[in-house]
Amino acid sequence: MTLLTHFDTPVSEPISSQILQRVVDQLTELSMMEITPSNLLYNIYQYAIGFEVHLYLEALDGTKGIAVELIVATDEQAPDSVTGFVLYLPVKDDPQACGIAYMAANTPDVTRAMVQEVIRRYPHTELTCSVRNVAPFEALGFQVIGARGPQVVMNTRDHGTDGLMAVLDVSAVYSSTEVRQIHTYLLNRHGKKAMIDAEKKRDRQIDQLTAKARAFVAERTR
C-alpha cells in the first residue's frame, strides 16, 4: 500500500536525497525535452534539473518568498523508502488552484495516487506533459487546454487560473560554475564536434516535440 505524506515545510535530508536521486534516475521523464542518456548533454541536465528541484525543496522553508508544497509517496512495508514525489506550486489569489512543477514515481499507480491527492487539495490543478502521457492524465480528469513548448498543457478544468503562481528564476543554474565544469569535462572527453552535434540533436528534438504538441492540441481543440 502506498502512503502519502504532505509537506509545506522542509523535508528531512534522507527524503530530500531520495527525491534528488529520483530526479537523476528519471531525468528523461522529468525533462521537457525528454533528453536521453544517448545525448552527451544528458549529464548537464541531470545536474541542472536536479539543482532546480533542490532549490524548490529549499523554498519549502518560506525564505524564497514563494509557496511550495510536496507530496511524497512511500511504501507501507518500507516507510523510509521514497517511491515517488510531486512538487507543486499553489496559486496566489486562487486557493483552489496549483501547478505541478516536478513529478516522478516508481509506477503509474503511485503517480495516480499522488496526483489524486494534489487534486483533492487543489481542485483546479494544472500540469504539462508529453503527448504520450496525455491519456493517463485524461483518465484522472484532466483536459487538454493548450501547448507550451514541447509539452501539452492539461488542467482539471477547461481553462487556466487567473491567479498568479510564483516561480523561482532557475536560469542561473545553466550558467553556473558547476555546469561549465561539466561541459568542459565533456568537451575534453568527446571533442568539440561531438558536443556541437549533441546540441543540434537536442534542438531538433525540442523542435520535433514542439511541433508534435502543437499539432496534437490543434486536433484536440478544433
Segment 160-179, tens digit of pLDDT: 999 999 999 999 999 999 99
| pTM assigned to the model | 0.95
How far is C-alpha 114 from the geometric centre of its chain's CA atoms?
A: 14
Per-residue pLDDT tens digits for 13-55: 999 999 999 999 999 999 999 999 999 999 999 999 999 999 9
Average pLDDT of the residues in 217-221:
92
**pLDDT at 12 (0 to 100):** 96
**In contact, 130 and 56? CB cutoff 8 Å:** no
Residue 1 has pLDDT above 90, yes or no: no
Provide, rounded to the nearest whole percent, the portion of the chain with pLDDT above 90: 95
Whole-number average pLDDT of the chain: 96
**pLDDT at 14 (0 to 100):** 96
The arrangement of strands across the sheet holding 2-7 comes to 2-7, 69-75, 78-90, 97-105, 124-129, 151-155, 143-148
**pLDDT at 141 (0 to 100):** 97
DSSP assignment string, 88-126: EEEPBT-TTEEEEEEEEESSHHHHHHHHHHHHHH-SEEE
Write down all domains in the chain, each with its CATH number in brackets: 2-221 (3.40.630.30)
Half-sphere exposure of 153 (CA within 13 A, CB side): 15
Q: How far apart are CA 59 and CA 67, in angstroms?
A: 8
Taking Cα atoms as reference points, which of 178, 176, 17, 156 lies closest to residue 98? Answer: 156
**pLDDT at 29 (0 to 100):** 94
